[in-house]
């Protein structure tokens, strides 16, 4: 699992793409983005995902639509499958 670009440059569109691989087709996928102090900033739910490699974009804005500040953030990809939950955590940086 990774995101590209990393670091994200806000002056060039400020968007990043999370890429992750799933060994089985999920029932649902959610991506949650957190500040370095653990505050939930954004939830991407109803993410379209299939078995294999998947990619989901994020515009680096929080739930209120405000651009996230420069800094380090963590993201969690959560896939609900028939065999239970699969969770992976990654780190990204936003620069201006």
Q: Distances from the Cα of 91 to the Cαs of 52, 60, 70, 74, 83, in angstroms?
A: 22, 13, 13, 4, 26
Residue-number span of the structural domain to which 11 is assigned? 2-95
Q: Is the model's pLDDT at 24 over the cut of 80?
A: yes
CATH of residue 34's domain is: 2.60.40.4070
Q: Name the maximum alpha-carbon separation found in the chain.
A: 42
Mean pLDDT of 7-15: 82
Q: How many separate domains does the chain show?
A: 1
Q: How far is CA 61 from CA 55, 74, 85, in A?
A: 18, 14, 26
pLDDT, position 95: 92
- The tens digit of pLDDT for each residue in 43-61 reads 999 788 999 999 999 999 9
CA distances from 81 to 21, 24, 47 (A): 13, 7, 14
Q: Does the pLDDT at position 92 exceed 90?
A: yes
62-88 pLDDT, tens digit each:
999 999 999 999 999 999 998 899 999
Q: Say what the pTM is.
A: 0.90
Mean pLDDT of 21-41: 95
């Amino acid at each position: 699992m990774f995101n590209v670009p990393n670091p994200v440059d806000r002056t060039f569109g400020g968007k990043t793409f999370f890429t992750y691989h799933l060994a089985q087709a999920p029932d649902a996928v959610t991506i949650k983005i957190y500040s370095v102090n653990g505050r939930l900033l954004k939830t991407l739910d109803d993410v379209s995902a299939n078995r294999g490699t998947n990619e989901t974009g994020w515009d680096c804005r929080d739930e209120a639509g405000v651009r996230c500040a420069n800094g380090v953030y963590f993201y969690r990809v959560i896939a609900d499958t028939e065999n239970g939950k699969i969770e992976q955590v990654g780190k990204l940086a936003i620069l201006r």
